[in-house]
Structure 1
Amino acid sequence: MQVIEILREASKRIYENVKDLAGTVDAAGDFGVGAGGDISRNIDIIAEKTVLDYLKEVNFECTVLGEECGRVELSENPKGFVIMDAIDGSANAVRGVPFFCSSLAFATENKLSSVTDGVITNLSNGEMYWASENKGAFFNNKQIKVHKKDPIYKIIGINTSGASIDLMTRLNPIYENYEHTRHFGANALEMAMFAKGLMDIFIDLRNKIRIQDIAAGYVIVKEAGGILLDENLNQLDANLSYDTRISFIAAANQGILDEIMSKINK
């Protein structure tokens, strides 16, 4: 089996196992702080176990880097890393807000830039976004591209959850100049929707995002033709470490990137 097929099947199994849990008492629980630093909920544990069980079933030789479980060695000779946020948007999932997803990626080396395959599944409806390096990005079975034309409405995705006063002051010109800003509570799914052309730019400058949140979105956005940069407008890259926290900007084209950055960099 190809790597992308393994990730897609694992993602499908997560959906089947958690689709009826969202918003129920069984979704919650407190299982302590996971490897990523957040409280692990029952729905997180079930989703991660689903992936780990499947990878063992198909004997996929890899090292898993999970949001909750941490580093799990599934082989003495791993082919690479499976980067797993089995539930991105756990707060939405526990409360029953229908915007949460699974994010699975595969990297050949200990760098974000070595991610070759990624799958993001909207766990409220089973819709799947996926990509493999140099093979394009897809929504279910239809190829997708970022929005390149001048849109009727410019939609700005921007994550400011827990942002500092200084950062909010810097970002304020966006709110003053654009009516249509969005954040839904699951970065991975928002990156996937950006790749589908539903937003023109997605910004997260909080320096809080973990690799698990962005790895699948990284390759999907790249294969959909998007621009991915760090806060210094350099090509986005980072180590696959649990200590790594990053900021990023995903833009559909250079024009929208220049337009937005000119406002917040004054």
Structure 2
Amino acid sequence: MDTIEILRTVSKLVYENVKDLAGTKEAVSGDFGRGAGGDISRNIDIVAEKTVIDYLKEINFDCVVLGEECGRVELSPNPKGFVIMDAIDGTTNAVRGIQFFCCSLAFAADEKLSSITDAAITNLSTGDVYWASKGKGAFLNDKSISVYKEKPIYKVVGINSSGSSPELMSRLAPIFEKHNHTRHFGANALEMAFLAQGLIDVFIDLRKKIRIQDMAAGYLLVKEAGGLMLDENLQPLDSDLNNEIRLSFVAAANKEILDEVFSLIK
């Protein structure tokens, strides 16, 4: 089985195992402390992660798992690469029953973001799977997708400003003032998938808080859909893969819209 088929298959298993948990008391039952990523682990997170790890063990997939809750789990002494897993991205939404959360999985051949070869982001409210393999384009289920290529009638700018400092909010203020259609739905990976699908034109996260697991799959998906993935200095984004790193990033449909939005930032 190809790597992308493994990611797509296990993503669907996660959907089946958690789709009825969202918004229920069972989603938060148990005391699991804080995961490797630093956030409080909820039952729905644990169920989703266990689904992924159990499946990878079942098929004897030689890899190292880098999970948001479980941290680094070595499933083989001779791994072929790394499965970068945020089994539930948007846990707050999932716990409250807000229908915007996803499973984000990526496979990297080496311990660099730029070595990601396959990615799957599954909308856990609908079961739709966004996926990509390096050099082969981006897809939603069986349909090819791309970033929005025309001049948009309504320019949609996604900004993750949760927990931002007053200084960062001051820098971003002109964007909020200029653009009436700013959005943040609460799950970075799924929002990056929306950009790859052409629903969002720019997505900005300059908080230096994003974990590798939150954006690894989106990184490849956006690039394969024809978009740009850049760091806070608007240079090509790359990073080591570990739980300690926190990143800023910018995803954009094209350079023209990127330049227009960033010309407003102080």
Report the TM-score, using the length of structure 2 for normalisation. Answer: 0.99
Cα-to-partner distance string for 1:192-245 (whole Å, 9 max, x where unaligned): 001000011000000100000000001100000001100011100111011110
Which residue matches 1:117?
118
The residue aligned with 1:8 is 8
The residue number in structure 1 matching 2:77 is 76
CA RMSD of aligned residues (A): 0.6
2:27 aligns to what? 27
Deviation, structure 1 residue 148: 1.2
TM-score, structure 1 length as denominator?
0.99
Deviations 1:15-74 (A, max 9, x none): 000000000000013310000100000000000000001001111000000110111110
Q: Deviations over 1:164-217 (max 9, x none)?
A: 000000000001101000000000000000100001100000010000000000
The one-letter amino acid paired with 2:96 is R
Alignment of 1:1-266 (within 5 A): 1-29=1-29, 30-265=31-266
Letter matched to residue 167 of structure 2: D
Q: Secondary structure at the match of 1:264?
A: coil
Give SS of 1:4's match: helix
- Partner amino acid for 1:4? I
Cα separation, 2, equivalents of 1:218 and 1:115: 9
Partner of 1:36, secondary structure, is: coil
CA deviation after TM superposition for structure 1 residue 142, in Å? 0.3
Q: Structure 1: which 5+ runs fail to align?
A: none
Matched residues, percent identical?
Answer: 70
Distance 1:110 1:139 in 2: 27
Q: 1:132 corresponds to which letter in structure 2?
A: S
**Distance in structure 2 (CA, Å) of the matches to 1:56 and 1:176:** 50
- Listed as ranges, the gaps of 5+ residues in structure 2 are none
> How many residue pairs end up in the alignment?
265
CA distance in 2, matches of 1:222, 1:120: 14
Please tell me the residue identity of whatever aligns with 2:233. N
> What amino acid does structure 2 have at the position aligned with 1:264?
I
Is the partner of 1:250 in helix, strand or coil? strand
Q: Which amino acid aligns with 1:14?
A: V
Structure 1 window deviating more from structure 2 (222-231 vs 28-37): it is: 28-37
Local SS of the residue matching 1:68: coil
